Amino acid sequence: MNTAELLVQCLENEGVRYIFGLPGEENMQFLEALQSSSIQFVTTRHEQGAAFMADVYGRLTGRAGVCLSTLGPGATNLMTGVADANLDRAPLVAITGQVGTDRMHVDAHQYLDLVAMFAPVTKWSTHIVRPSNTPEIVRKAFKIAQAEKPGAVHIELPENIASMAAIGEPLRISDNHDIFASFSSITRAAELISQADNPLILVGNGAIRCNASAALTEFAARLNIPVANTFMGKGVIPYTHPLALWAVGLQQRDYISCGFDRADLVIAIGYDHIEYSPKKWNPMGDIPIVHVGRTAAEVDSSYIPQVEVVGDISDSLQEILSRADRQGKPDPYAIQLRDDIRAEYTEYAHDTGYPVKPQKIIYDLRQVLGSEDILISDVGAHKMWVARHYHCDRPNTCIISNGFAAMGIAIPGAVAAKLVHPHRKVVAVTGDGGFMMNMQELETALRIGTPFVTLIFNDGGYGLIEWKQQTHFNRSAFVRFGNPDFVRLAESMGLKGYRVEAGDELLPILKTALEQEVPAIIDCPVDYRENMELSQRVMQLSCAV
């Protein structure tokens, strides 16, 4: 047995089902070892796509997704997706090939110090230089990647080490023991909540990662406290729940900003600053905060909790609930906020304007996707509309990158989502800019049999940047481009292609596309004049009772 074969055995021991990546000269021994493995290797068209697939796989399953590249340019291509996983708190293990250790001290073809290069974008970056250390390195890598807060780990395998004889076996995976919050912190949190007149819950992706949706919903309902979620916290409480205030996180004031203005206590549950900076909702640092999470609060002048309840989130909420004595009702203004938000959402249900308004596109999507179906959002102007208007009944049914926020994630992410949940409908929502960054992975989807729909918000430019430029300078620059014929492009790849040519065509096209047995592309011209309309509307928003 050589090191590459031992490495594969260790990955099998960790329960790895898929490895996403590209073959290369320096990872040939590893690929040869995979030939007799139970692990399915998914050959992608670009290393960035491979990393995004591993990223979304990790976010959906809680188990580290694995991606592979060769050295040099293969590894640099991999980095964007690895960084995205790290800042989106998705467990991921990246494996790269490398020149032999006998060539690292001289200028060698395609050689870069990959351990150093990956260090800033991972929780841990290391290399295998002794075959016998492979089991320890792999076990440590997965333990670090999957520990709260999850993230990315990088392992480099030099080609001469990969072929060396190795003696060893995978290490036993020890059980993870839950950590429970202290009695004193729970008691103090219960006191603060009991005394508050207008408390508000802010919930983030950490509550989803820790499977705290049921406990959170019961906690809010029993104590009559409204709930706002971050972009990455969608579905942690059903959007139909009367206390759900939907998503917060738009970089401008919005309806929910008024709820924070009136709150005399914010209960932050599984909240991560990287999802939505506290300086946006607590700029003066004067709103009292109760922090509930698996890890301690980050240090920030706008986020200094009165108490930190650090431990298993579900257990913490149940213990606080058993001690809290809150008889109050939700702030009537919060209930009015919900009505206002819902009224704006339904306003576009029958809009027939063309190009199609982004609100209408999102409304139609919500009509065709069930509560368990999955939407993967790319990054761009459409992401703001998805975050604001696409509402979820279940956790992990709307995947938004909002930590690193890298364009190009939607299509590779949809491939991973379909592998994890083959019987659910999956839609990748992307702008025309993000689509062209990783559209090549649609061939991967066709080849491995993962049909999903890619919905393109087509505006012929980088819409989010134009929106920002218009807001700051009243003009835009360098954001326009041309596009291919997306329908003919789809057909040339053996996919189904559709173009929306009237305001009432999207809904039937979506229904048809979702029934196909191959990936489908929908080209939908979008009316992004609504971007500035929204900016003007929220600027004039009054929080008066």
- Residue 265: what pLDDT? 96
| List of domains in the chain | 3-163 (3.40.50.970), 183-326 (3.40.50.1220), 347-537 (3.40.50.970)
Count of residues making up the chain: 545
For the stretch 39-53, pLDDT in tens is 999 999 999 999 999
Instruction: Specify the pTM.
Output: 0.95
Supply the DSSP string of 11-68, one letter for each residue.
Answer: HHHTT--EEEE---GGGHHHHHHHTTSSSEEEE-SSHHHHHHHHHHHHHHHSS-EEEE
Q: Is the dihedral of CA 350, 353, 356, 357 positive or negative?
A: negative
Q: For the chain, what is the largest distance between any 2 Cα atoms, rounded to a whole number of angstroms?
A: 74
3-class SS at 453? strand
**Amino acid letter, 334:** A
For the stretch 159-215, pLDDT in tens is 999 999 999 999 999 877 789 999 999 999 999 999 999 999 999 999 999 999 999
Residue 448's closest CA among 49, 45, 42, 50? 42
Contact 84, 67 (CB under 8 A): no
Q: Distance between CA atoms of 142 and 270, rounded to whole angstroms?
A: 22
Per-residue pLDDT of the chain (545 residues; tens, 9 = 90+): 999 999 999 999 999 999 999 999 999 999 999 999 999 999 999 999 999 999 999 999 999 999 999 999 999 999 999 999 999 999 999 999 998 887 767 677 777 899 999 999 999 999 999 999 999 999 999 999 999 999 999 999 999 999 999 999 999 998 777 899 999 999 999 999 999 999 999 999 999 999 999 999 999 999 999 999 999 999 999 999 999 988 887 766 677 777 788 899 999 999 999 999 999 999 999 999 999 999 999 999 999 999 999 999 999 999 999 999 887 777 777 777 778 778 888 889 999 999 999 999 999 999 999 999 999 999 999 999 999 899 999 999 999 999 899 999 999 999 999 999 999 999 999 999 999 999 999 999 999 999 999 999 999 999 989 988 998 899 999 999 999 999 999 999 999 999 999 999 999 999 999 999 999 999 999 999 888 887 777 666 656 55
